[in-house]
Amino acid sequence: MKGKIVIDLEPENKENHSVVNFGKAGWGIIFYCMAMFWFYVGFVNDGSNITAPAIAERLGVLSGTVLNCNSIAGVVGVLLFVLVGQLNRKWGARKTSAVCMVVAAACYIVIGNAPNLAVYTIAMCFVAGGIMSAGYIAGGALVAQWFPKKKGIIMGYTTMGHNLASAFYVPMITALVNQLGVRMAVVIPAVAVIVLAVLGALFIRNTPRERGMNPDNVSDDEYAADYADAQTDENDDGGWTTKKLLTNGSLWLTAITTGFFQICSVGVMSQLVVRNQQLGFSQAHAVAIMTVLACIGVFGSFIIGMFDDKFGTKRTMIFFGVWYIVALLCNVSETTFGVYISIFMIGMAIGGSANFTTSLPTSVFGRQGFSKVNSVLFPIQGLFTSLCFAVNGIVLNITGSLRYAYVVFACVAGVNIILVALINEHKYNQDFKKEQEVRARTEAKIREIERRVREELEKEEREKGSSANAEIS
| Confidence bin at 149 (pLDDT 50/70/90) | confident
Q: What is the pLDDT of residue 302?
A: 84
Q: What is the pLDDT of residue 2?
A: 47
pTM: 0.74
Residues above pLDDT 70, as percent of the chain? 92
pLDDT (average), residues 122-140: 92
pLDDT (average), residues 22-42: 94
pLDDT tens, residue by residue, 315-350: 999 999 999 999 999 988 888 888 889 888 888 887
Residues above pLDDT 90, as percent of the chain? 38
- Cβ(384)–Cβ(259) below 8 Å: yes
End-to-end CA gap in the chain: 26
Of the candidates 115, 131, 111, the residue with the CA atom closest to the CA atom of residue 38: 131
Q: What is the pLDDT of residue 469?
A: 65
Q: What is the pLDDT of residue 31?
A: 97
| Confidence bin at 447 (pLDDT 50/70/90) | confident
pLDDT tens, residue by residue, 84-97: 988 998 899 999 99
| Confidence bin at 229 (pLDDT 50/70/90) | low
Is 251 or 450 the better-scoring residue by pLDDT? Answer: 251
Q: What is the pLDDT of residue 248?
A: 94
**If you average pLDDT over each of 226-230, 268-272, 361-365, which comes out highest?**
361-365
CATH classification of 25-205+244-428, choosing from 1.10.3210.10, 3.40.50.300, 1.20.1250.20, 3.90.550.10?
Answer: 1.20.1250.20
pLDDT (average), residues 395-399: 81
The domain spans of the chain are: 25-205+244-428
| Confidence bin at 100 (pLDDT 50/70/90) | very high
pLDDT (average), residues 180-184: 94
Is the per-residue pLDDT at 184 higher than 50? Answer: yes
pLDDT (average), residues 200-219: 92
Is the per-residue pLDDT at 233 higher than 50? Answer: no
Is the per-residue pLDDT at 9 higher than 60? Answer: no
